[in-house]
Amino acid sequence: MSHHTISMQDVQYTYPDHTQALQGASFLITHGESVALIGGNGAGKSTLLSLLVGIVFPTAGAVTIGGMELTHKTATEIRHRIGMVFQNPDDQLFMPTVFDDVAFGPLNMGFSQEQTKQLVNEALATVGAAHLSLRSSHRLSIGEKRAVSIASVLAMTPDILLMDEPTSGLDPWSRRQLIGLLLKFGHTKIIATHDLDFAMDVCQRTLVLQNGRVGADGPTHEILRNAELLASCRLEPPLRLQSN
């Protein structure tokens, strides 16, 4: 299933103010992998996700999704394969009701009203938010908003799921619900997170961004036991691995 693969080859990205966010990032992620993306503040995690979905484009190097290089010409087609859950749910929720927010994507992808209704109902049920369908998205709790933002992505039936700090602001119950949901999502996932216990729960592989490059890449249980590596990124080991 090559349409689920993701690769970066020597990708560089420089912001208009000349800040260099990525300086030669390279990796290959294959079908069905669940990958954590970690690094210190300012390491370039959000920029990397934005490059994968074509919000911004590389200054140099190549981003390839499912064997197709991401360019301005291919971006629309590639975006149909990828669902992106932003760090702030309010960046995704802008319609009058929850149903309208979740329906927005499928309708713009050309699904019929009946197909869209089914996709919306299934997505909201998957995240445990069916009861919120007629509520205003802006009057929800942060956990409810997070669930609806994920449903708005799932309704577009993506092959690849990208998430930026998905546990930010969640209470323990909502966090556990999210872990259960992601463990059931069998497609390719890249999750940028500072929540290293969460990364251990849902990701088998971890990429570490350092100095604009992938400084380490390996099994999550090995990466997150490397205290020296984590300290170099100003990160603490997962709580379950810290000695009292």
Residuewise pLDDT in 10s, the chain (244 residues): 455 889 999 999 999 898 899 999 999 999 999 999 999 888 899 999 999 999 999 999 999 998 899 999 999 989 888 999 998 888 889 999 999 999 999 999 899 999 999 999 999 998 889 999 999 998 998 888 988 999 999 999 898 999 999 988 888 888 888 898 889 888 899 999 999 999 999 999 999 999 899 999 999 999 999 999 999 999 988 988 886 5
pLDDT for res 185: 82
Specify which residues 16 forms β-bridges with.
none
CA–CA dist 143, 138 (Å, integer) = 12
52 and 65 Cβ atoms separated by less than 8 Å: yes
Query: Pairing mode, if any, of strands 188-192 and 160-164?
Result: parallel
The phi, psi pair for 125, rounded to 5°, reads -65, -40
pLDDT for res 1: 43
* Cα distances (Å, whole numbers) of residue 17 to 43, 52, 88: 17, 21, 24
The residue with tokens 């300012």 is 42
Which domains does the chain possess?
1-81+159-237 (3.40.50.300), 88-157 (no CATH)
Order of all β-strands in the sheet with 68-69: 20-29, 6-14, 60-65, 68-69
224 and 236 Cβ atoms separated by less than 8 Å: no
pLDDT for res 187: 82
pLDDT for res 243: 67
**DSSP strand E in 30-165: where?**
34-38, 60-65, 68-69, 82-85, 160-164
71 and 57 Cβ atoms separated by less than 8 Å: yes
Kindly report the length of the chain.
244
Q: What angle do CA 158, 86, 200 make, to 5 degrees?
A: 80
